[in-house]
Amino acid sequence: MPKLLIVDDSALMRKHLRSIFEETGAFEIRTARNGQDALDQVAAFDPDVVTLDINMPDMDGLTCLGEIMTAAPRPVVMVSSLTRASAPATLEAMQLGAVDYVEKPGGTVSLNIDAIRREMVEKVTAAVSAKPRRARGLLSRVRHTRQATVQPRRAAPLGRVGGLVLIGVSTGGPRTLEDILPELPGNLPWPVVVAQHMPGTFTGSFAQRLDRICSLEVVEVTGPAPLTPGRIYIGRGDADVVIGSRLGRQIVSSVPCDPAMRWHPSVERLVRTAREAFPADHLIAVQLTGMGDDGAAAMAELRAAGGRTIAESEASAVVFGMPAELIRLGGASLTLTARAIPGQIRTWLS
């Protein structure tokens, strides 16, 4: 039975979370009241997965997470109020090695935690088998930042674009995208559109964060916009990102969620709308880490029609769910580690 450590400074929240996971009967559970208590429990209890609050007195969640991922890496799911103000801290937690995050509805001490019971259990259960990654050091960030300054951004040309790179990603995605997107050159001839399962309060901050470290310009899709080379489009959260055309030009848009799709922005919907706007052999689709199967069927059909597809390999995927399903369907042209993917995209577009 996997061991779960719940870390929160609120006794009420610890009680709510413990109740949720005790009802599953699937975990051995302990709790910690602050960051230092959590570090002591990690050493003594050796949990398989940790849920960690961000805002705690004395030692906050980010400091605690950094200590865990440096000394004894293991899957950590952040539990936080998902507001625009908290977005940078939660994204920093992903950078430090957290696997995922869950919203704490109603604020720091919530009486409505049952509203996210299903999501909480699913994400923590998936995290048990996730691959923990050590905290990324400053040198890696400096390297990416320098790369972005060395390669000047190209002016976006007018008219139709020749093709499109599509990326679908979920659990473990923010850090994986930070490994891949900065390695794409500023003169990439095709635009890139990303469907990352993420709340709308986060995607703007995430796009800004990526824009600081990428050679390509990175923008959040908030409304209809022309597709242009030299740009990465991050689909706005709590909506779907789709491809279409207007006045003879291909466009990318943010539209209300399709209720038939469980995860948003929907990878499946992104790929299917791209197929309506581009020939299959003018599309490259990449399926990265994430639980579930969003996008796998559409990408498999794309490959069968002559498109090129990549599934992230189990060796690097934080959660080998979405790419595994693409492979199972016979829809992966190639299976590559995250670090090998940008080189393959460059090769295909050279």
Q: Measured between alpha carbons, how far apart are the two ends of the chain, in Å?
A: 50
The total domain count for the chain is: 2
Q: Specify whether 294 is located in the same domain as 330.
A: yes
Contact 78, 52 (CB under 8 A): yes
Reported as a single tens digit per residue, the pLDDT across 44-84 is 999 999 999 998 988 999 999 999 999 999 999 998 876 66
Reported as a single tens digit per residue, the pLDDT across 298-319 is 999 999 999 999 999 999 999 9
The residues annotated with a catalytic role in the active site are: 170, 197, 294
Of 128, 161, 189, the one marking the end of a domain is: 128
Q: Specify whether 107 is located in the same domain as 43.
A: yes
Minimum mean pLDDT among 79-83, 105-109, 173-177: which range? 105-109
Report how far residue 321's alpha carbon sits from residue 244's, in angstroms, rounded to the nearest whole number: 29
Q: Which domain holds residue 59?
A: 3-128
| Dihedral sign (CA 294, 226, 303, 340) | negative
Cα Rg of the chain, angstroms:
20
* Between 90 and 344, the higher pLDDT residue: 344
State residue 54 phi and psi, 5-degree precision.
-85, -45
Q: Specify whether 341 is located in the same domain as 290.
A: yes
In a domain, 199, yes or no: yes
CATH code of the domain containing 8: 3.40.50.2300
Q: Specify whether 193 is located in the same domain as 260.
A: yes
Enter the pTM of the model. Answer: 0.89
